[in-house]
Structure 1
Amino acid sequence: MQGFAGVMWLLNVALIVFSGFALFDAAIRREDAYRAVGKQTKPFWLIILALAFVVSLVFPILSFLPIIGLIAVIVYIVDVRPAIRSISGGRRGPRRGSSSDGPYGPYNGGR
């Protein structure tokens, strides 16, 4: 029985970390990016993800509330976050041009 309790504790810690990451990520994104991609508003996602984080802290993973919170976190990570990153430009997004780029690539000033 101790092995099962250890596995459930690890799952609970993983859920807390996962929901905390989603909440932090939602907090640092621009508010207008949520509207631009046609998703719910930033306050909506902050409230949902904060509730998921608090529920994962308070209730054990065998309860149904953390499972509902996990579903909300997965929806944010899989659907909303990539859409927002494509608008606001993530670190791994497509290469953005600089101000010295011409229509066919970078302008080197005749070098």
Structure 2
Amino acid sequence: MFGLYGILDIIFWLLSVAAFVLSGWALVHALRIPASAFPAAGKQTKPLWLIILGLATLFTFAAAINYLGMGMGLPNIFTIAAVIAAGIYLADVKPAVNGYRGGGNQGPYGPW
């Protein structure tokens, strides 16, 4: 039914979609955090992270649509760098700035 290349194409497409979801998740999180939280946590500024994560989402989206016949070719060094940037944000910056969410009343288990 599927040859070896068909199965590998499906695997790489799933990896590309997962990379796009990872980058998108990081970008949405960065958009929701106030700009003052980044310097307060000792991290780079919010506009810089939005540029980095926006480009990461763009490159991973291009890699994901490549398998539908319209793309820039196989995942390349930019796609790998995009996944690394989103991973750094989610592993290092996200936990540091999570405590700075603005909002109303704070209960013992978070906002309510």
Short-chain TM bin: 0.7 to 0.9
2:51 aligned residue (26, 38, 47): 47
The higher-RCO structure (CA 8 Å, 6+ apart) is 2
Residue equivalent to 1:73: 86
Contact 2:30 2:49 in 1 (8 A): yes
| Other-structure match for 1:19 | 23
RMSD: 2.4
- State the alpha-carbon separation in 1 of the partners of residues 108 and 48 from structure 2: 31
Asked whether the 8 Å contact 1:12–1:61 carries over to 2, the reply is no
Shift of residue 57, structure 1, vs aligned partner: 1.4
d(CA) in 1 for partners of 2:95, 2:8: 35
Contact 1:11 1:61 in 2 (8 A): no
Task: Name stretches of at least 5 consecutive residues in structure 1 with no aligned partner.
Answer: 98-111
Give the Å deviation of 1:2.
Answer: 0.3
Give the distance between the partners of 2:108 and 2:101, measured in 1 at CA: 12
Q: How many residues align?
A: 95
- TM value normalised by structure 2: 0.76
Q: CA offsets per residue over residues 16-37 of structure 1, 9 Å max, x none?
A: 1110110000001010000101
Q: Which position in structure 2 is the counterpart of 1:63?
A: 76
Any stretches of 5+ residues in structure 2 without a counterpart? 64-72
Using the aligned pairs only, state the percent identity. Answer: 39
Larger radius of gyration: 1
Aligned AA for 2:25?
F
